[in-house]
Amino acid sequence: MEFAGKVALVTGAGSGIGKATAVRLGAGGASVVVISRTMDEIEETRDEIIKAGGKAIAIDADIADEAEMTRVIDATIKQFKRLDIVVANAGINGMWAPIDDLTPDEWDQTMTVNLRGTYMTLHLAVPHLKERGGSVIIVSSINGNRTFTSAGATAYAATKAAQVAMAQQLALELGKHGIRVNAVCPGAIDTEIDDNTDKRNTQLAEIPVEWPEGDIPITGGEPGESRDVADVIAFLASDAARHVTGVPVYVDGGQSLLR
């Protein structure tokens, strides 16, 4: 119960990495606030945590909307009186297309969700973390940091690189308040995000290559599981990582070392 007495907020907690993380933190004793735009999904996450003996509330909100995220933070403090852990996980792949095909609206949508959403989450949560210190984990990606092989993913890669920069900048800015800020950079994970990726004419931006057999060395080419990332996030959120801040942790089974 390494998180007993602590309160965690997890965005994008309705499925995949966000859900696995919320469940993992709840199992560790944290009271968990699960956030998503899809209420039925986060209700399932909440119920799973409670069924296992934990505490959780579910709040539907658009992470890029200031009024909605203000409502989330206010509800968190009203319910649990504190905030210790923030996992900024919510994000989209958005449209993948050649840069001269990608429209301004498509670019803006990816920036809004991935960057404004991360900013808004931290902008509103940090004042409460400053009260007693805490941990922030931003879910980035190997894309835009170690790999650049997803054809047409310029907007997505840019946001993921920026999230790592945010983590490193904020690690310095917030360290004096006892707040640690780290990023996790997953590779291929068994989430549904690929099903929600829009692609258009990506073949025009591709460079033909043949990857070494196996692709993901540690699993023989199979994607990792959401819990693989959740366990790393739990470590970074815990006191075991008390001297770790400003670090991007790659959770990809060695995938990015091949690319």
Q: From the candidates 156, 167, 205, 250, give the one annotated as an active-site residue.
A: 156
Q: Is 103 exposed, middle or buried (0-12, 13-18, 19+ CB in 10 A)?
A: exposed
3-state SS of 204-238? HHCCCCCCCCCCCHHHCCCCECHHHHHHHHHHHHC
Ranges of each domain in the chain: 7-258
Is residue 195's pLDDT more than 60?
no
**Residue 30: predicted pLDDT:** 98
- With CA atoms as reference, report the closest residue to 152 among 209, 208, 94, 96: 96
**Residue 258: predicted pLDDT:** 84
pLDDT band at 194 (very low <50, low <70, confident <90, very high): low
pLDDT band at 160 (very low <50, low <70, confident <90, very high): very high
| pLDDT digit string, tens, across residues 221-255 | 889 999 999 999 999 999 999 999 999 999 999 99
Mean pLDDT lowest for which of 47-61, 70-84, 110-124, 245-259? 245-259
User: What is the pTM (predicted TM-score) of this model?
Assistant: 0.93
**Residue 206: predicted pLDDT:** 77
**Residue 192: predicted pLDDT:** 61
| pLDDT digit string, tens, across residues 202-215 | 777 777 777 666 67
What sign does the dihedral 127-130-132-133 (CA atoms) show? positive
**Residue 168: predicted pLDDT:** 98
119 is catalytic: no
d(CA 87, CA 8): 8
- Range 7-258 has CATH code 3.40.50.720: yes
- Share the mean pLDDT of the chain: 94
Angle, to 10 degrees, between the axis of helix 226-237 and the axis of helix 16-27? 50
* The residue to which tokens 């490193």 are assigned: 168
Is residue 4's pLDDT more than 70?
yes
| pLDDT digit string, tens, across residues 61-90 | 999 999 999 999 999 999 999 999 999 999
**Residue 165: predicted pLDDT:** 98
What sign does the dihedral 169-172-178-182 (CA atoms) show? positive
- With CA atoms as reference, report the closest residue to 106 among 171, 150, 154, 149: 154
Question: What mean pLDDT do residues 117-131 have?
Answer: 98
| pLDDT digit string, tens, across residues 29-45 | 999 999 999 999 999 99
Paired residues of 55 in beta bridges: 31
**Residue 121: predicted pLDDT:** 98
**Residue 196: predicted pLDDT:** 64
